[in-house]
């Protein structure tokens, strides 16, 4: 009852705020390193937590709402209702669906359909996966700015639940799934949910399991965990629910920090920055490494984009050779001090969602300016990020 009362009050405040939203567009298009800047009049709505391009539209999750853009010159469509999320609880966005975890109620995830003007939503709590999960919550400690789970193309969502104590410690993790149908005649429905009976994660009051992100590649799911007692594990979950677990199977026997996709391969970055890649999720090859661990990579038009705080970079595979990578830093003069949450290509623009609005700039201009700048610097070593050989 208390949760419901709080939600009603909060929803009323959001509706008042949303009615006063008027977009503003500013920018300095002619200056190298400067970006066009999209702002709402309400400051709370400029706190963007994630973004994705789906079906030719830009879907942006902000601190207390979601918006769908057809074009930056047109006012976006607001979807969803109550989405009280904080910046470190990054929502998972997919082609049609999104998953959000409440700031206040860690035992609840809400799903929204952000296509076709739908306001349909469904929520789940850990107890729905089984009576033994009554005191569980959705896992918090994925790392800074990682999505809370992931969808595959079949609208299956996978995440992790964990038992917890009043001190905030988490243990007894379980990998769970939710199958959603966004095209039902009665709106968004949950068609199936459950957890994998053969739990491969160590059970008991263990502390210190450190997880990578959860990533979908060719509709399979991948996640990794490590601990002092159990070594370095990663798990592959197939479409039919079968599981393969690999122990100490990565080059250099390092923990996988993050999974991503580049040039059609499953990529991963290991703890000390090394990049590895595979087509089958089992046999890996090494390539170069970064001098920093990154939480979010995105393949855009064959360039591997990533960000760190307010800095943007991309990696190019020279002549499509994954053993010969070149690193570039993108000019971000007016994005400084804005924490970046996602990078996407929308129509002709590279779009950056941040803690202070949305920045965008013509994609081809970004690439050409960045390469020209590196050439003018005579290929000097970048002061903030270094790409090293194997």
Alpha-carbon dihedral sign for residues 222, 109, 307, 365: positive
Give 143 or 149, the one with higher predicted confidence.
Answer: 149
DSSP code at position 147: B
For 282, the token pair is 């089992």
pLDDT at 1 over 70: no
pLDDT at 144 over 80: no
Q: Which of 208, 210, 91 is nearest to 157 (CA)?
A: 91
pLDDT of residue 146: 85
DSSP 73-120: TSPPEEE-S-----TTSBPEE-SSEEEEE-SS-TT-EEEEE-STT---
pLDDT in tens, 110-128: 898 887 766 678 889 999 9
d(CA 233, CA 225): 5
pLDDT at 90 over 90: no
d(CA 224, CA 238): 15
Summarize the chain as % helix, strand, coil (round to 5).
Answer: 10, 45, 45
Confidence of residue 14 (pLDDT cuts 50, 70, 90): very low
With tokens 């009615």, the residue in question is 19
Residues of the chain above pLDDT 70, percent? 81
- For residue 121, count other CB atoms closer than 10 A to its CB: 18
Question: Domain 2-388 carries which CATH code?
Answer: 2.130.10.10
pLDDT of residue 185: 84
Assign 128 to helix, strand or coil: helix
Average pLDDT over residues 91-97: 94
Largest interatomic CA distance in the chain: 64
Confidence of residue 6 (pLDDT cuts 50, 70, 90): very low
pLDDT of residue 342: 96
Q: Which of 119, 133, 197, 200 is nearest to 170 (CA)?
A: 133
10 Å CB burial of residue 316 (0-12, 13-18, 19+) is middle
49: left (phi > 0), else alpha (psi -120 to 50), else beta? alpha
pLDDT of residue 231: 83
Average pLDDT over residues 190-201: 84
pLDDT of residue 11: 43
pLDDT of residue 170: 78
**Average model confidence (pLDDT) across the chain:** 85
Bridge partners of 237, per DSSP, are 221, 243
For 247, the token pair is 């122990």
pLDDT of residue 20: 45
Going from the C-alpha of 7 to that of each of 83, 112, 221, 259, the distances in angstroms are 9, 16, 33, 35
pLDDT in tens, 228-285: 777 899 999 998 889 999 999 999 899 999 999 999 999 999 999 999 999 999 999 9
Going from the C-alpha of 99 to that of each of 66, 165, 189, 247, 351, the distances in angstroms are 11, 25, 13, 30, 21
d(CA 233, CA 212): 10
pLDDT at 139 over 80: yes
d(CA 157, CA 111): 10
Q: Which of 74-78, 165-169, 188-192, 282-286 has the lowest mean pLDDT?
A: 165-169
10 Å CB burial of residue 319 (0-12, 13-18, 19+) is exposed
d(CA 165, CA 176): 20
d(CA 289, CA 285): 12
pLDDT of residue 374: 87
Q: Which of 187, 186, 184, 209 is nearest to 199 (CA)?
A: 209
Average pLDDT over residues 159-183: 86
pLDDT of residue 5: 44
d(CA 150, CA 221): 8
10 Å CB burial of residue 376 (0-12, 13-18, 19+) is exposed
pLDDT at 10 over 60: no
- How many CA atoms lie within 13 Å of 140's alpha carbon, on the beta-carbon side? 20
Residue boundaries of the structural domains of the chain: 2-388
DSSP code at position 381: P
Give 20 or 219, the one with higher predicted confidence.
Answer: 219
Bridge partners of 307, per DSSP, are 312
CB of 87 closer than 8 Å to CB of 64? no
Confidence of residue 169 (pLDDT cuts 50, 70, 90): confident
Give 378 or 67, the one with higher predicted confidence.
Answer: 67
Backbone angles phi, psi at 366, to 5 degrees: -60, -45
pLDDT in tens, 329-351: 999 999 999 999 999 999 999 99
């Amino acid at each position: 009852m208390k949760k419901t009362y709080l939600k009603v009050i909060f929803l009323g405040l959001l509706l008042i705020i949303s009615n006063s939203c008027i977009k503003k567009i500013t920018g300095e298009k002619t200056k190298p390193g400067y970006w066009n800047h999209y702002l709402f009049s309400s400051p709370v709505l400029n706190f963007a937590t994630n973004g994705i391009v789906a079906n030719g539209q830009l879907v942006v999750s902000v601190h207390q709402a979601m918006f769908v853009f057809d074009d930056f010159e047109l006012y976006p469509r607001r979807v969803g209702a109550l989405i009280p999320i904080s910046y470190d609880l990054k929502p998972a966005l997919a082609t049609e669906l999104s998953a959000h975890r409440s700031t206040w109620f860690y035992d609840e995830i809400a799903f929204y359909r952000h296509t076709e003007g739908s306001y349909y939503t469904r929520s789940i709590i850990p107890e729905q996966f089984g009576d033994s999960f009554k005191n569980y919550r959705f896992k918090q400690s994925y790392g800074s700015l990682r999505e809370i789970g992931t969808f595959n193309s079949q609208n299956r969502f996978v995440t992790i639940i964990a038992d917890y104590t009043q001190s905030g410690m988490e243990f007894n993790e379980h990998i769970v799934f939710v199958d959603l149908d966004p095209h039902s005649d009665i709106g968004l429905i949950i068609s199936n949910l459950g957890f994998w009976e053969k739990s491969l994660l160590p059970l008991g009051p263990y502390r210190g399991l450190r997880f990578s992100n959860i990533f979908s590649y060719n509709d399979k799911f991948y996640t990794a965990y490590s601990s002092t007692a159990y070594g370095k594990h990663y798990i592959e979950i197939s479409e039919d629910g079968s599981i393969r677990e690999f122990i100490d199977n990565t080059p250099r026997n390092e923990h996988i920090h993050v999974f991503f996709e580049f040039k059609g391969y499953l990529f991963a970055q290991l703890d000390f920055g090394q990049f590895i890649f595979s087509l089958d999720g089992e046999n890996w090859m090494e390539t170069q490494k970064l001098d920093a661990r990154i939480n979010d990579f995105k393949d855009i038009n064959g360039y591997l984009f990533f960000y760190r705080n307010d800095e943007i970079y991309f990696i190019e595979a020279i002549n499509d050779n994954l053993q010969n990578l070149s690193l570039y830093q993108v000019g971000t003069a007016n994005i400084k001090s804005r924490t970046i949450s996602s990078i996407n290509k929308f129509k002709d623009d590279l779009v950056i969602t941040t803690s202070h609005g949305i920045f965008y700039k013509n994609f081809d201009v970004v690439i050409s300016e960045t390469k020209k700048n590196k050439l003018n610097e005579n290929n000097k070593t970048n002061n903030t990020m270094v790409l090293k050989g194997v």
